Structures are given as structure tokens and as C-alpha cells.
Structure 1
Amino acid sequence: MKKRISVVFLLAALCIFSSNNAFAAWTQAKGHSYNQLGFSYYKTTEKFTTLHRDASGTLETTSGSIIKEDQEKFTSKKISYYGEYGITDKVTLVLSVPYDWQRSNDTLRFAEERGPSGVGDINLGLRYQLVPNLFGSGVLMSAQGEVKIPEAYKFGHPLLNLSQGDGQYDTSFALKFGRGLPKGYLWLDVGYKYRFENDKFEEYKPSDQFKVAFGGGYPIVSWLSLTGYLEWSKAVGNARVSDELVVRSFSTGLSAATAKDELIKDTLSLEKDDMSVYVGLQFNLPAKHKAVPNSIVVSYARDIEGFGEFKTKNNALGKTIGLALVYIR
């Protein structure tokens, strides 16, 4: 096999560990903030794919049924900051910054290096409270716009190198709904992500995505709460790769007959569907000092197979364990 590094696991790792608060509809009061410092470990050795190969490894089709197969081990150790700040009672600034240490058997084999480390994609957004009580139902409704900024790292050629992010700007818009309950809360997040072209080398564009997530929290006792959510993303199907990138891929072992589809569905993972679940235990602490967090969250998240039209497709099957310190000021 020629030298080729697949980034399907990287893209999953970039998405799988996010703050439960990131989906919430509520805004912060003016001058108040929510701050989360997270530590996570992500691992994958499998993926769901529509590419079928014969016993010799020859590609037979890129549009087969979804199957689960082994892939090279990839791990990501990450420190993440997620924060919200109330500019006004109705407008909240949202920021997330990750620092990532990646290790890939692909890079060890082909590039003789462990993998990159450093600051990854930075996300910056605004959340605006639209309606505090939608149609008298007690449901709060907000809108959030966000931009992903890939300027904190050097992006290597995607066929030959791993990078801390996927190298191009994205913008997202979501409608968020939340409702407090006598005990606990529920929320729903419906959004669309527009993904710009990546022209750092030969040009390509990842597919836009439609996203839905819902979840909530429930206080088991005064000092312990259970949180969780289910998230689903669906590729719109408008991914594309340039002729120049297709030609470049021939040197990595792809064939002219299938290179375009293989780049989109596997090597660059430009058109992936994913379903994942998250569950967390939140331990509330008495805030006797500013240095003491208000709560500690222990979490577990993983990609799952899904069902029907909601199946995970052309995406890594990964697991994440996390620990987060939450400061509310």
C-alpha cells in the first residue's frame, strides 16, 4: 500500500467531546459567566463505512451497505476550555478552545511521527434569546450563530499529514429550545453547518451538515445530577474534490475509477453521518472559594450504530471519557 493517512478518526475526535451546556438554550445574565475546563481521552479502532473490499484489499464498491470494520488506532488527549459570558441578559458570547495531543498508528507507520499537538479549531459564537415563553408553553427559544476558526495551527496536506483541525472555516446556525421542569430540564437543538472550501493545497469542500440534538439533566440528590444527550448529524451531500486533488491521490494508491468517491467517503471523510450519545454525572460542590469549582462532571460519550435513516455512515466508531471542572461566576 502506498503512503496515505486517513483523517476519518480525526474528524470524529474533533466533534465527540463538547460541553452539555453548548447545546443549552438559556443565556447568561449580564456580566455573569459559565466556564468549563475539560480533560478528555478519545480512542477509536473501528469505523462504519460503505466501502467494500475483497480479501486482497481491492476496492469493490464505494456505495455498499454500511459495515463495521477495523482501522488503525487513533487517540486524542485533549484539554478544552468552553465559556459563556452574558453581554446583556439576552445576548451571550460563546467561546471554545481545545489543546490536543494526537497519536495515530497511520502516522507512526507512514510518517514516522506520533501525530500533531497544539491548539485546534477555535469556535466563537453569539446566542440570542428570542422568546422567553414560547406560546405560553414554558419553553424558552434562542438562536445561536457560530464560526469555526482554523488559524491557530499549521494545516498539513490532508493526504499525507494529520493536523489539529480540518483546515477550513465553518459557520453554524441553530435554534435552541429549553424548558425547566419541577426537577431538572430538557432541551432541543436544531441546526445547520455550512462548510467552506479548503484551498490550502488542492481544493476540496466538506459537505454541509444538518444537526439535531436533544437532552437534559435531572438532580438525583442535592449534590449529584445526571445529564445526557443524543446527537445526530447528516451530510447534505454537497461535498466535492478538485480534479487536481484526485490526480494527486493517485500517488497514494487510489485508482482513477474510484478515487473521487474514496476521497469523499473515506480518506478525507467529507460526507459522513453520525449518531452519538453522551452521559455525565455532575457533582455539585459548595463554592467556599473562587478557586473551587461549582461542580465536577465525569462523562462518557461514544458513536453508535444508529438505526434506519439515522445510521452512522463513513465515520469512526469512537469512545470518549471526560472530566470537567465548572466555574459559574
Structure 2
Amino acid sequence: MTAISDSVCRVVQRFQEIFSVRGVKHPLVSVGLPTYNRPDGLHRTLMCITGQSYENLEIIVSDNCSSGDETYNVVNEFMKRDPRIAYFRQEQNKGPVANFKFVLEQSTGEYFMWAADDDEWDEHFIQYCTEEFSRLGEDFVAVMMEAQYFSHSGLYDFFPEGEAFYGSNLDDISDRLCHMLKNNYGNLYYSLFRRSALFEQNTSFFSAFELVSLNEIPLLLFVSTKGKLMVLPRVGLYKRTTDSTYAQAKWEIQGGKLPNPCGFRYFLGLPANFQYHKLALRDIQSVITLLKIDKPTKRAVSNMARRIIWAHFLGIVMSYKRPRI
């Protein structure tokens, strides 16, 4: 009886060590990992996520009907030694929007984050973000860290994307929406969110709005009505990319002349780029229309969104944009 009691005590003590530090509980964090035909990148991503210092995770992998068995084999290798992973295979490819929606709606944690299947993270990324939530309090609904880009050749030079959110503490919803429109960037999609901020009365963001693009702005506007967003001024995400995409990301923040690696590509693809901006604006406007804000704010934010989207497209056409201030 004593041996059994001792064993139980050891189990309880280990549980407390894992999920409690100095009396602070570690709530469940859900990680949604949509994937398609990228087994090598998926392997690296799972290495990073399963190796996080914050251990109270559920990891939801949704395979968007990848060809062959390689994707399943990668996930199965990890599932054999990590019970936190759940694997789902879609019967047909539903597109990226539906796959992002699926992993969110399968989640049960207090916090949620999407993980791209070719990125990497600092081993303390989730720990740092959850600790920041504890420090900031209930007014904040998303925490992110800076990203650094890399390719098979190594790390690109770091440049900050999230400076506008280092000390962001705007109480007024209208101010937050305008701030987000002016300063949003793609990697904010991979923040750690309070899961409740991604839902409206038990309906997920994706189910509430019929979106056709994965542009980050609709989601970030929706979340901004729920609370504040903070970016920590240290690198926690490592984003795999190409020379042209890195040059574009840097141009988005620093402005100036559009660099040749992405300028030439965009010039050739102007019709498709126009269509992308048109669809993104449609999604943004549809979200703004249904946000729970007053009509004058909706009108002001909608007009601002229209100006920003078409100014961005004009910047691509002219191969120049003003730096963000």
C-alpha cells in the first residue's frame, strides 16, 4: 500500500512540475498544423513543436489529402512516441482556408496557434508567449515574437516587423483597428491567440465569414475587436523563404524601391496580383461589415482598408512605396 502511495505521489509531483511553476498553472495550448505534400518540412516542424519547453500541448495535424504515404509516415513516426499528436487526413483537398479552419475547430485548448509545415521555432516560443499572457492580463488576446527568415543557404539578415506592436496598448477598438490596418504583416497570423478570440458565440472565425483568401488582415481585424496584441522584441519564429519573398517582406516594412528579385516577378504577374488584392479587399470588407462595432467606425475602417489595399497595389505597379512610420 505504501509503495502504491509513493508511486502516486511521484506521479502527482511530476505532473505538478510539468504543468505548474511556482504555483502558476500551465493551461492547454493547441497547435494547429495544416499540411500538404511537404513531408520534409513537416518533420522539421514537428521536431520543433514536440520539443517545446512548454509541454502542455495538443498538436493537431490535418493532412489536406497529400499524395502517397510520406506525410502519414512522418506523423506516425512522431505519434509513436508522443501521445499529444492527433492526425487527420482529409478525403479530398479542400484548399488552405478549409484546412486552417479544420485545425482550429478541432482544438480544445485555452490558447491556439497555427504552425506552418516548413517553419521552425525557438524551443521556448510557446513558453515565452504564455508567460507574457500571464503578465499582460485579460485585455490581451494575441502574443507574437519577431521572425527571422532563412533558406537552405542560412539565415537572412534580421529586420524587425513588429515594432508597432512592441508597446501597443490601445483601449479603443477603433484605434486598434486603424493601427492594425496600418501596421499588419503576414507573420502575425502565427501568433499565439486566446482561442476564444478566434470565435464568435462558439462559431469559429472561418465559419462566421465566407473567406476566399488567406490574407491575414480579416483575421487580425476580427481579433482586434476582442482585445490587444503584443509582439515581443526577440526572435522566436524562423520563417523558411526564398530570396524574392524575403526581399518583398523587407520592402513591406522598410518601403523604398521594390527590389528586383520581387519587382520583376510582380511585374510579370500584375493581372494575378490585381485579382489577389481584389479578393483580399472583398474578404476584408465582408469582415468589417459583420464586426460588432458602430456604423461610423465601420465606415471609417472600411474606407481606410480600401485606401491601403489599392495604395499597396499601386506601390507594386510603381515599384515604390513610402516607408511605414
In the superposition, the TM-score normalised over structure 1's length comes to: 0.23
More helix by share: 2
In the superposition, the TM-score normalised over structure 2's length comes to: 0.23
